[in-house]
A and B are shown apart, each in its own frame.
Chain A
Amino acid sequence: AQKVTQAQTEISVVEKEDVTLDCVYETRDTTYYLFWYKQPPSGELVFLIRRNSFDEQNEISGRYSWNFQKSTSSFNFTITASQVVDSAEYFCALSELNTGTASKLTFGTGTRLQVTL
C-alpha cells in the first residue's frame, strides 16, 4: 500500500525566510511519480511539480526547489525568500505507474504554510 507522510502540519515563517516542507513516502513499486500541489484558500489545487522515480536530480524553479532522495524516500520542497502569497496548504502526492490502477494519486495530509510580514 502507498503512503505519503507530511509530518509538519503547520509552519509559520516571516517573509523572506527560507522554508522547507518535508515529504516522506512509502511504496512497493519501483516506478512511480511524486508530486507537489499548492492549495490556496480558494481551494483549487495548483500543480507545482512532477518527478519520476528514475530521476533523482534536484530541480529549481524560481524560488522553488525540490530535493528527491530515493535512499530516504523523501521528496522535500523548499521555498526560498518566502512571500505572503506563498501562504497556502501544500500537498505531496504519489502515483503508481501501473495503468491497471489508473494512476491514482495518494495525497499526504498537507502542510499549512503561513507567511507573515
Chain B
Amino acid sequence: GAVVSQHPSRVICKSGTSVKIECRSLDFQATTMFWYRQFPKQSLMLMATSNEGSKATYEQGVEKDKFLINHASLTLSTLTVTSAHPEDSSFYICSVRLARQLSIYEQYFGPGTRLTVT
C-alpha cells in the first residue's frame, strides 16, 4: 500500500492567492521529508529538506518566503505556495526519508500535486 500521501492531487488557484499542499507519511514516522518540483517534461528538482521540529533547509535559488514549509509532526509536512503566480504552476512531489539500516536511507515518494495558477 501507499506509504506517502499528498493532498490535494490537483489544485487550480488564481494568481496572488496562496495554496497549501500536505504530505503525509502513512505508516512511518519521518523526521525528514523532501519537497521537489517538476516542470512539464523536465526532471525533479529538490526545493527543500523538511525537518520535523526545525526550520526547513532550502536549495539555492528557492525563495523560502514564497515556499513556506512546516513540518510540525512526524507524519505531516506542508508546503504553502504564497502569492502564487502562473510560473509557479508545476507538479510538486514530496518524499519521506526512512532509515533501513544504519546510514542507509530510502525515499518514498508521494503521488504528487499538480498546481495550476491562472
Contacts and interface: CB of A to CB of B under 8 A. Distances in A.
Interface of A: 37, 42-45, 47, 50, 52, 91, 95, 97, 99, 102-110, 112
Interface string B34-51: 100000011111100101
Q: Main secondary structure on chain B at its contact with chain A?
A: strand
B58 interface: no
B89 to A, nearest CB: 14
A103 B104 CA distance: 9
Contacts of B44: 45, 91, 105, 107
A105 B112 contact: no
Interface residues of B, number: 26
B43 A44 contact: no
B95 to A, nearest CB: 8
A3 B97 CA distance: 21
B71 interface: no
A105 B91 contact: no
B111 interface: yes
